[in-house]
Amino acid sequence: MDADAFRRGPITVTAFDWVPRFAQGHVRDLRVRWALEEAGLPYETTLVAQGEQRQPANLARQPFGQVPTLTVGERSLFETGACVWRIAETSEALLPSGTAARDDCLAWVFAAVDSVEKPIAMLAMLRFFTKDRDAAERAQPDIETLLHERLTRLSDALGEAAHLSGGRFTVADLMMTAVLRDAGRGDLDPFPTLKAYVARHEARPAFKRALAAQLAPFAENAARYRASAPGGAAPNS
Ligand SMILES: N[C@@H](CCC(=O)N[C@@H](CS)C(=O)NCC(=O)O)C(=O)O
């Protein structure tokens, strides 16, 4: 999947045709769409219906039955870190030339999807999805402390700088912003520089195009999901 393959296309991203409101604007295909927009690469989408993600067609693309996947010509990739990195490799807009700069970006992309995303995802699981509420409430403070510590270190590493690496917007900022956007309400409040960092990158035209493209099918398909929900009302739609 080299730069020529991206130029030849076609490029396709899988995404859901609808998700409940709390997840709208946060489904991970946003990262891939945003990277493609920054790189100036046109793409199409294959929409996966709710409940179809574990069907053979999607499992063949994504072994965990999730979205997104990125297909370029004949080849497919899963995991947003891998997809976004491959896109970045095609574009100076996301990845500067020079081994040291690229290494730095690579480290920050992994930091985003591992060191920072892990406690954010664990907290979301404990707050909203864990069925044993007593166990969730016992575990939560430790994870909140871990996230606070990670965000403190990140905020210190960023300091007064606008960007994580090389004094300009790169794939490192794209991935870190995407991950920080998924933090729970209030979790970023003690870190005004991180909130400003996220807001600055959300104002980028490429981000706005990616977000609008993710949201468009949700609006189109909401009525269909509402109609098929028990009692005719899809919650959070
Ligand atoms: N580590 C994966 C996570 C992918 C993921 O969690 N996808 C979610 C949407 S954001 C999904 O498809 N969830 C539906 C499911 O697991 O059934 C990545 O970064 O690509």
Write b or e for each residue in 23-38: b if 16 or more Cβ atoms lie within 10 A of its Cβ, otherwise e: ebbebbbbbbbbbbbb
- Does residue 144 contact residue 124 with C-beta atoms inside 8 Å? no
Q: Where are the beta strands (DSSP E) in the chain?
A: 11-16, 44-48, 69-72, 75-78
Ligand 1 atom having least distance to the Cα of 83? 20
Q: What is the domain class of 99-203 according to CATH?
A: mainly alpha
- In angstroms, the CA 42 to CA 199 distance is 25
In angstroms, the CA 50 to CA 30 distance is 17
CATH code of the domain occupying 3-92+206-232: 3.40.30.10
CA–CA separation, 17 and 215 (whole Å):
9
Closest CA to 183 of 131, 140, 119: 119
Residue ranges for the chain with pLDDT beneath 50: 235-237
What are the residues whose beta carbons fall under 8 Å from the beta carbon of 205, sequence distance 6 or more? none
The whole-number pLDDT of residue 1 equals: 82
Q: What pLDDT, on the 0 to 100 scale, is given for residue 217?
A: 97
pLDDT of residue 237: 42
CA distance 194 to 151: 8
| pLDDT at residue 232, rounded to an integer | 54
pLDDT at 61: 94
Q: Whose CA is nearest to atom 12 of ligand 1?
A: 66
> Ligand 1: residues whose CB is within 6 Å?
27-28, 53, 65-67, 79-80
Asked if omega into 190 is within 30° of 0 (cis), the reply is no
pLDDT in tens, 192-228: 999 999 999 999 999 999 999 999 999 999 999 888 8
Q: What is the pTM of this model?
A: 0.94
Going from N- to C-terminal start, the domains of the chain cover 3-92+206-232, 99-203
What is the residue with the minimal CA distance to atom 15 of ligand 1? 66
CA of 48 from ligand 1 middle (Å) equals 12
**Distance from Cα 64 to the centre of ligand 1, integer Å:** 8
Are 3-92+206-232 and 99-203 equal in CATH topology? no
Structure tokens at 163: 């960007």
